[in-house]
Amino acid sequence: MNFNQNYFEILGLPLVFDVDLGLLSDRFLELQKEVHPDRFASRTEQEKRLAMQWATLLNSANDTLKSPLKRAIYLLQLKGIELEDNPRLPPEFLMEQIELREQLEDIEGSEANLDDLAVFKKEVKAVIRSIEQNFSKTIEDDLVQAETLVYEMQFLNKLLASANQLEEKLLDY
């Protein structure tokens, strides 16, 4: 294995957004077995340390590539784009975000209707999937648009996380 490879190369996957998650899982498990620290128990300290570094790198690669948002951010990084902390987003997108947040607050303030929350989460997930599909189409030829789509994914994933927290609260977890 080569520490200079990107995560896609390490896992033997094509450098694309649309990753075959089954293949990712299979490759991860194969490689994990090869570098598992138990296999290096009787080896030198240097070999043990290298195996641990590989296992850590492999876990990081798997964690990044199995998450659409993390994968999108990583693909942008490979193309030399680092995300900003306070990006400029289209005003209409920001207004939609405010409306969605208010909708979530209304659900929380009402008689805690889990059905309404389920519908809300389903709608947000559908929008996220749509943005992911657009990202997949634009990553190769429009990096400015791809970057904007990642910011939108971040907003919506945070909103979905808030909805999941509300669900746990309503279910008393």
Tell me where in the chain the CATH 1.10.287.110 domain(s) lie.
Answer: 7-66
pLDDT tens digits along 87-113: 888 899 999 999 999 999 998 887 668
Fold (CATH) for 91-170 = Monooxygenase (1.20.1280)
Domain with CATH 1.20.1280.20 in the chain: 91-170
- At the topology level of CATH, where does 7-66 sit? Helix Hairpins (1.10.287)
DSSP character string of 112-158: --HHHHHHHHHHHHHHHHHHHHHHHHHTTT-HHHHHHHHHHHHHHHH
pLDDT for residue 1: 65
What confidence score (pLDDT) does residue 112 get? 60
So what's the pLDDT on residue 157? 96
Q: Give this prediction's pTM.
A: 0.88
Model confidence pLDDT, tens digit, residues 112-171: 688 899 999 999 999 999 999 999 999 999 999 999 999 999 999 999 999 999 998 888
CA distance linking residue 63 with residue 55, whole number of Å: 12
